[in-house]
Amino acid sequence: QNFPTSSHPLVGHLSVTLRRTGDFLGKIPISAIIACDVKVHTLCKIIDPKAEFDPLLVLSMIYNAAKQSPGVSVSNRNFWIQSQRPYSPEAVDLALQCWSGISDPIRVEAVLIPCAMEDGPKMVSLNISENEHYMGDIALKLSATDPSHVLVSRSVQSQ
C-alpha cells in the first residue's frame, strides 16, 4: 500500500495538526520531519555524516536548531515543534484542501523494531485512518503517549 501523497509530505501532517484541538493544535512531531522532509534530513547528513544512519542524532539536531530559531517553539517535555505565530486562515484552508485525509482506512504492514534488546523485531499491521496521520496510528499501536514519542524510518517499498 502507498500512503496518500501531496505536493510535500509534511502537508498531510500540517493538515492533521490544524484539525486537532487542545494541546496538540498546530504541533508536528519532530519525527515526522525526519521521516518526511528529505531536504532537512539531507542538511543534517551534510552537517554530520553519522546522521545518515542515526535517527536519534537527526532528532537531536532538529530539536537543537528549533530551540535556537525565532518564531518556532519546541516542547521541553517531548518532541513537538510548532510555529509561535498563529497560522493564517489562508494557510489553514490551503492545508486542508491539499490533504483531505483518507476516505477508507488503509492497512499497512510494518516491521516493529523494539527498543528493548530482549524483544526481537516483529511484523505489525496498522490501520491508517482519516482522523489522524499515520504517526498517530503508529503511536496508538505501540501504546506510546503521543506521536512525538515514535521514531520511524523512511518507507521501504517491497518488490
Per-residue pLDDT tens digits for 83-100? 888 777 787 777 666 555
Residue 75, pLDDT > 80, answer yes
Quick one: pLDDT at residue 65?
92
Quick one: pLDDT at residue 2?
40
Picking from 42-56, 71-85, 90-104, which range would have the lowest pLDDT averaged per residue?
Answer: 90-104
Give the separation between CA 37 and CA 31, rounded to whole angstroms: 10
**Residue 3 grid coordinates:** 500512503
Kindly write down the DSSP assignment for every residue of 60-122, as one continuous string.
HHHHHHHHTSTTEEE-SSS-EEEESSPPPHHHHHHHHHH----SS-EEEEEEE--SSTTSPPE
Residue 10 or residue 91, greater confidence = 91
Q: What is the pTM of this model?
A: 0.69
